[in-house]
Structure 1
Amino acid sequence: MFLPVRGHNRGHDSDRGDTDGDSGSWDAGGESGRRSRALKAVGLGLTGVLMLGVAAAGLAYWHLNQNIKGVDINSALGDDRPPRPLSAPSANTADLPSGALNILVLGSDSRSGAQNKELGGGDSEGARSDTAMIVHIDAGRTSATVVSIPRDTLVTRPSCPLESGGSTAVAHYAMFNSAYSVGGPVCAVKTAEMLTGIRMDHYVEIDFSGFAKLVDAMGGVTVTTELDIDDDKSHLRLKAGTHHLDGTDALALARTRYGVGDGSDLGRIGLQQTLVKALLEQMSDSGLLNDPAGLYRVADAVTGSLTTDTGLDSLGELTTLGESLRGLSAQNVKTVTMPVVTAPWNPNRVVAQEPDAADLWTSLR
């Protein structure tokens, strides 16, 4: 009942400053009022969209965070480890970390889950570290060295604590990759530290399906092979040359051993190092770091099959590590293999070649 009164007063009250009929700016019941209500509706709509966006971002963050499995290696191993290298404190506490890092990276041949079984066969019992690399990142984090450890290297496997209680027995002349099968990530780290004398700052493990998903999320990977590959075990057949591989074929390449070279693990390591360099170059050249949607696809693929130490088991910690490595280009990553020779008593096993192996580890401390 108030609207007619307001309309009547507006038409006769010159003190309102309205000489233009229905165009009065103060009229809540006319065009101005409708415009005001429309603006409020738009504002509410934008607020709703913003809230949904925040919720979606939070859900995505939670999802990726929940994907990562963490293992408290520091608590399990205690102080019985090589010392951490001394590093100069940063002049600015807001700076990203820039000290040297050593990360043990394992490719697990665990066959748990339907996808892993399809890609690798077998079951989840007796899983081993199919691939082992120590990634040394130099101080300043603009260069790195990736050292591959042949999985059939004979080492002294130390006594390792077990999650269920107790510990494993010391084993002499054990294959390096057996450490993971008897004592999981904790024993893999302890064995790597005993072999090298280097403190592993972090541990990262990815399984078969995770690696294949990673490559697919990046749109495949382009590699060049110098020799024909024909391997009945990995089911990979490639002519020498350049090929663009999907995740399944890239995984097969990483696992190929018998269809290239002398059939030893050293031939497979060469293929793995070629693959690592190709992935790093593609990540750099594709501008992936500036593509949020692409980064999410890759992160979702990786985190779902990722196990780390508790220092990297959150998206925030992984993001900080990634940001600290922005100055590291593929051209500044060197790949080498731990110097080894055939074991005198077993032609199918290798042992560290000294003093070359010791010199390598010393250079990375």
Structure 2
Amino acid sequence: MSQPRQSMTDPVRHPEAASSRTRTKRALVLLLLTVFVPGGAQVVAGNRSLGRKALVVTLSCWFVLLAVLAVALVDRGILIEVLARPLVQLALAVVLGLLAVGWLVLFVNTLVIIRPRLLAPGARAFAAAATAVLVLATSGVLGYGAHVLNTGRGTIQNVFASGPAFEPVNGRYNIMVMGGDAGANRTGLRPDTMAVFSVDAKTGKTVVISIPRNFQNAPFPESSPLRAVFPDGFNCGDECIMNALYPTVENQYADLFPEGSNAGAEAMLDAAEGITGLPVQGYVLIDMAGFAAFIDAMGGVRVDSGGWVPYRGAPRDDIPVRTRWFPPGELNLSGDDALWYARSRYFTTDYHRIRRQQCLQQAMVNQFNPQTVLTRFSGIMSAGEQLLETNIPQDQLGSFLNLADKSRKTPFERLTLGAPDFGTSAERFSTYPDFDRIRQRVDALLLEASGAAPAASSAPARSTPANDGASASATSGGAAAATTTAAAPSTAASIESGASEAPTTQPDGSPITEDYLIQLELTGQTDLISLIASTNDECSTP
């Protein structure tokens, strides 16, 4: 039977008799259908069987996307935990790859249906160019998404350990974060930045307990193999400060730990448990260079600095010193700048930089949100492989990302096992620690963080009031060791005790500038510089 005459003259399926203008409109409509309703062009003007199959896939994708959106609105944590699993990422990468190929096939078929030879020369060139652009915007984006997911899956498998996720203890996860510095002038890797992150398994409320690099006499729990080697703790004097434990164990006692484990890191976990009384379940070791790359991948990090922070700058022809200064106020730091901001202890003390590290970590957590991850996923994953070594299982990553997302809603609580939370630096609490006091303070802070005890200030009063955001901070593991020189003990003591108020202007009343600070250094007025810099631990997140 012959087709009805109206069907044979339909310009959508039979454009031969249509006008040039109608053919051009038809081509544009078919391309738009392929973009917004994949399969629609085939149903109305081509192979209906192929079009129906494509429409089924299209409707299924829309259904899945709406379901994902509903889950995200109800409980985003579930979505984060599922998407963080390597097997889910592999499946999504395969699905996106197949969708990219399928959409490309539909565009090629749509171009055949359009019949470019029937178009005017200008319209023909437009149709070809438009098809190429739309293929890149659809199949190209899906293909790139598959590549990014596969990259993330590879990073997770390379960085995180295998094995089952561990359970919280007393409702909390306790993880030790260390910043590692294995520079050429170091004997082995020395984690000069150390902190225990205690995270509420339900709310994500986080307490950060910072351990100074010069902490001495660290005890070991009975379960540690080092208890037999150091029954009275790591107490051989100045050679046995906390950051020396890692290389000491790696070089001399690695055989005490299971083969294949990181003996130095395991020793640090045991010491942290002995110091705080908390069961420390895992570690994250962050490389300094990787930290800078990670910050750059995030697009920088913003902090509100309460004082002048020195760093080592490039030489200038007009001055013989290389000291440069980050000014007070809001700073948008690149990776290298963030590293200097957290490492610097010129003219101040180790305890100043610990508090800046805490602030910087809070800022990173605040900025490490789903929007940042989605827009910078590939760079973050690539930098992450350089950044981390950890014994946290892959299956734990989803729940930890979920907790990190929750933790952005409340500021971190922090405790430094030294000045200013335990006296001044001149009192040398880190050299002669009182472990009963430490554990009492840790227990009280955890109770406060859980809401089971009334809030109370744990830090002694200072003459210069701390910025409100300073207590809402956490340590930056990546901002690890410093190779700079600390302030002299007498200067440090006056800074910590608040003997004098930090000046905010020059003697003539004009604002303090970097050039003024450089001139003070040139004329040897280091005590005045230290006083001006004494507020640089007062930091908050904008």
TM-score grouping bracket, smaller chain normalisation: 0.5 to 0.7
Deviation at 1:187, TM superposition (A): 0.8
Q: Is it true that 1:156 corresponds to 2:167 in the alignment?
A: no
Match of 1:249 among 325, 330, 337: 337
Question: What is the CA–CA distance in structure 2 between the aligned matches of 1:275 and 1:53, rounded to whole Å?
Answer: 32
Deviation at 1:221, TM superposition (A): 1.6
1:351 counterpart residue number: 432
Matches within 5 A, 1:127-166: 127-156=189-218, 158=220
Query: What SS does the corresponding residue of 1:336 show, helix, strand or coil?
Result: strand
Greater fraction strand: 1
- The alignment's TM-score, normalised by the length of structure 1, stands at 0.68
Question: What is the CA–CA distance in structure 1 between the aligned matches of 2:100 and 2:178, rounded to whole Å?
Answer: 50
- The alignment's TM-score, normalised by the length of structure 2, stands at 0.47
Residues 235 and 253 of structure 1: CA distance in aligned 2, closer, same or farther (over 3 Å) = farther
Deviation at 1:336, TM superposition (A): 2.3
Match of 1:274, as an amino acid? C
Question: What is the CA–CA distance in structure 1 between the aligned matches of 2:100 and 2:311, rounded to whole Å?
Answer: 62
Question: What is the CA–CA distance in structure 1 between the aligned matches of 2:412 and 2:349, rounded to whole Å?
Answer: 25
Query: What stretches of structure 2 of length at least 5 have no aligned partner?
Result: 17-41, 55-98, 105-138, 250-263, 314-321, 448-542
Q: Is it true that 1:178 corresponds to 2:250 in the alignment?
A: no
Query: What stretches of structure 1 of length at least 5 have no aligned partner?
Result: 1-15, 75-82, 87-98, 112-121
Cα offsets for 1:139-167 (capped at 9, x unmatched) = 422411111111111123549769xxxx9
Question: What is the CA–CA distance in structure 2 between the aligned matches of 1:243 and 1:210, rounded to whole Å?
Answer: 21
Residues 133 and 218 of structure 1: CA distance in aligned 2, closer, same or farther (over 3 Å) = same
Query: What SS does the corresponding residue of 1:155 show, helix, strand or coil?
Result: coil
1:302 counterpart residue number: 384
CA contact 1:154–1:175 (8 Å) conserved in 2: yes
Cα offsets for 1:226-253 (capped at 9, x unmatched) = 2222345996522333322111010011
Residues 109 and 52 of structure 1: CA distance in aligned 2, closer, same or farther (over 3 Å) = same
Match of 1:362 among 440, 443, 456: 443
Match of 1:226 among 276, 301, 306: 306
Question: What is the CA–CA distance in structure 1 between the aligned matches of 2:144 and 2:371, rounded to whole Å?
Answer: 24
Q: Is it true that 1:106 corresponds to 2:106 in the alignment?
A: no
Query: What SS does the corresponding residue of 2:406 show, helix, strand or coil?
Result: coil
Question: What is the CA–CA distance in structure 1 between the aligned matches of 2:193 and 2:147, rounded to whole Å?
Answer: 36
Residues 246 and 39 of structure 1: CA distance in aligned 2, closer, same or farther (over 3 Å) = same
Question: What is the CA–CA distance in structure 1 between the aligned matches of 2:304 and 2:100, rounded to whole Å?
Answer: 55
1:36 counterpart residue number: 47
1:85 counterpart residue number: 169
Question: What is the CA–CA distance in structure 2 between the aligned matches of 1:84 and 1:292, rounded to whole Å?
Answer: 29
Deviation at 1:357, TM superposition (A): 1.2
Q: How many residues align?
A: 303
Match of 2:279 among 186, 199, 204: 199
Question: What is the CA–CA distance in structure 1 between the aligned matches of 2:339 and 2:387, rounded to whole Å?
Answer: 14
Match of 1:222, as an amino acid? R
Deviation at 1:47, TM superposition (A): 5.9
Residues 110 and 334 of structure 1: CA distance in aligned 2, closer, same or farther (over 3 Å) = same
Identity of aligned residues (%): 24
Greater fraction helix: 2
CA contact 2:285–2:388 (8 Å) conserved in 1: yes
Q: Is it true that 1:18 corresponds to 2:3 in the alignment?
A: yes
1:272 counterpart residue number: 357
CA contact 1:102–1:135 (8 Å) conserved in 2: yes
Residues 222 and 357 of structure 1: CA distance in aligned 2, closer, same or farther (over 3 Å) = same
Residues 327 and 228 of structure 1: CA distance in aligned 2, closer, same or farther (over 3 Å) = closer
CA contact 1:236–1:256 (8 Å) conserved in 2: no
